[in-house]
């Protein structure tokens, strides 16, 4: 089965009352699929549509974040962008 893979590693360190937190996301995105070329059907077609939709949602989020004008960032359009919301917005380092 083709799908995206997101592995999140969270680290918390406490030293002399000071707490430091870190988060590392390792992401393997499934490639987009041209449905007409692969002639996918059934569950494979549904899977391909879902992958293409989430990649489009990721593109929309990146476009909204890069826009000079203040606008709504559609993080909730897919599970992928929702999971990555904290590392995609401006507060990440």
**Residue pLDDT, tens place only, 39-87:** 778 888 888 888 899 999 999 999 999 888 888 999 999 999 999 998 8
Quick one: pLDDT band at residue 5, thresholds 50, 70, 90?
very high
Report the largest interatomic distance among the alpha carbons of the chain, rounded to a whole angstrom: 61
The whole model's pTM is what? 0.77
- Quick one: tokens of 54? 């989430």
Residues 20-52 as b/e (b if ≥16 CB within 10 A, e otherwise) read eeeeeeeeeebeebeeeeeebeeeeeebbebbb
8 Å CB contact between 29 and 4: yes
Confidence band of 93 (pLDDT split at 50, 70, 90) = low
Q: Compare 16 and 35 and report the one with higher pLDDT.
A: 16
**Count of residues in the chain:** 93
């Amino acid at each position: 089965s083709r799908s995206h893979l997101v592995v999140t590693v969270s680290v918390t360190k406490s030293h002399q009352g000071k707490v430091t937190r870190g988060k590392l996301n390792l992401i393997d995105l499934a490639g987009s699929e041209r449905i007409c070329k692969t002639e996918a059907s059934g569950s494979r077609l549904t899977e391909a549509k879902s992958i293409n939709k989430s990649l489009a949602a990721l593109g929309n989020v990146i476009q909204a974040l890069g826009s000079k004008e203040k606008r709504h960032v559609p993080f909730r359009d897919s599970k992928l962008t929702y999971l990555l919301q904290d590392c995609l917005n401006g507060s990440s380092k």
